[in-house]
């Protein structure tokens, strides 16, 4: 079996590689600038180029789409539909199964628990793009043109998750440096976060179970906890103060005038202002999988940061 990762330099790919090694599959890493990883094959390809992508996927049994584009709505609007169409066409041509690692932006602000049946009600430009990608792939899946599955997660944290993880930047790195942890907008509301090792294990499970295909799955997510509770756990394992500096919405808008990433992130702030409860009950029941507790996940992440 050959398992191919598109977006091979990203956080999720980094966690997925050791999972695939553990299961003794052939691993192919595809990126515009792939890094050599012992025990894997690396191929240079741009997912925006259909011929390059097809050539990179040839011979694959499973393809993981874990590409992360620059966090910019205009770039997403221009490039994501092209990438998704190219990936779908390449998998249809080669017969490779597709596992699409997705986020939850298409749901928008939800009052209550978010399940796989929650309707799309995006309130952001990036959410609109994600909804369109999902609809494109779901249409192909429903038509029987491709064996694919969509795997969704909220914001994530974990060992080896660094600048792409807000909890890593604002909590773990701050506490390790002896600074005060920061939290966005509201540390008093419950907030679902995903643990990257659980994400990687779950992606492999979906890729290797026939019943997973043709469906949407929420990746393993424990019951949400508040920002204060999360920081308290991190501080315990980093032996730091659990004080929190809250970054209010008005300040984030000002920061966005100077910081392009924060400007782009502003439309997603509803995720930090209001409760966000993502349910993975469907996945847990189907595959008898228990998400890693926040206690254990935060402990492992804290230890990794301490030992860097």
User: CA dihedral defined by 76, 124, 163, 279, rounded to 10 degrees?
Assistant: -110
Residue 31 phi, psi (nearest 5): -160, 165
pLDDT in tens, 85-139: 999 999 999 999 999 999 999 999 999 999 999 999 999 999 999 999 999 999 9
What DSSP character marks residue 105?
Answer: G
The pLDDT value recorded for residue 34 is: 86
Give the three-state DSSP class for 218.
Answer: strand
pLDDT in tens, 80-98: 999 999 999 999 999 999 9
Distance of CA 271 to the CA centre of its chain: 15
| Ranges in the chain annotated CATH 3.90.25 | 162-192+223-306
pLDDT in tens, 216-269: 999 999 999 999 999 999 999 999 999 999 999 999 999 999 999 899 999 999
CB atoms inside a 10 Å sphere around CB 22: 10
As given in the structure block, the two tokens for residue 300 are 């492992």
Residue 171 phi, psi (nearest 5): -115, -65
Element (H, E) at 79: helix 73-94
pLDDT in tens, 271-280: 999 999 999 9
The residue ranges of DSSP E strands in 36-115, in sequence order, are 41-44, 62-65, 97-102, 113-114
The pLDDT value recorded for residue 163 is: 85
CATH no. of 162-192+223-306: 3.90.25
- Measured between alpha carbons, how far is 16 from 203 in angstroms, rounded to an integer? 8
The pLDDT value recorded for residue 36 is: 87
| Ranges in the chain annotated CATH 3.40.50.720 | 2-154+194-218
Q: Which CATH class is domain 2-154+194-218?
A: alpha beta
């Amino acid at each position: 079996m050959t398992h191919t990762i598109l977006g091979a330099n990203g956080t999720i790919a980094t966690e997925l590689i050791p999972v695939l090694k553990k299961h003794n599959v052939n691993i192919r890493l595809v990126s515009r600038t792939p890094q050599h990883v012992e025990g894997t094959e690396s191929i240079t390809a741009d997912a925006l180029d259909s011929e390059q992508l097809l050539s990179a996927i040839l011979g694959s049994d499973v393809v993981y789409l874990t590409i992360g584009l620059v966090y910019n709505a205009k770039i997403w609007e221009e490039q994501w539909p092209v990438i998704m169409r190219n990936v779908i066409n390449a998998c249809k041509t080669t017969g490779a199964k597709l596992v699409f690692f997705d986020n939850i932006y298409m749901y928008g602000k939800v009052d209550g628990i978010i399940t796989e049946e929650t309707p799309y009600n995006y309130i952001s430009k990036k959410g609109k793009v994600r909804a369109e990608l999902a609809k494109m792939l779901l249409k192909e899946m429903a038509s029987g043109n491709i064996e694919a599955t969509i795997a969704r997660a909220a914001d994530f944290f974990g060992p080896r998750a660094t600048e792409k993880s807000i909890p890593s930047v604002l909590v773990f790195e701050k506490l390790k440096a002896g600074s005060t942890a920061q939290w966005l907008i509201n540390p008093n509301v419950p907030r679902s976060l995903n643990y990257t090792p659980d994400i990687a294990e779950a992606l492999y499970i979906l890729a290797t179970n026939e019943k997973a295909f043709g469906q949407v799955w929420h990746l393993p997510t424990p019951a949400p906890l508040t920002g204060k509770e999360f920081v308290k756990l991190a501080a315990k394992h980093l032996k730091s103060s659990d004080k929190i500096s809250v970054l209010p919405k008005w300040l984030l808008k000002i920061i966005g005038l100077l910081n392009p990433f924060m400007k782009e992130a502003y439309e997603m702030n509803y995720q930090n202002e209001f409760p966000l409860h993502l349910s993975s009950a469907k996945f847990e029941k189907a595959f008898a999988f228990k998400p890693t507790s926040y206690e254990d996940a935060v402990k492992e992440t804290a230890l990794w940061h301490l030992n860097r």
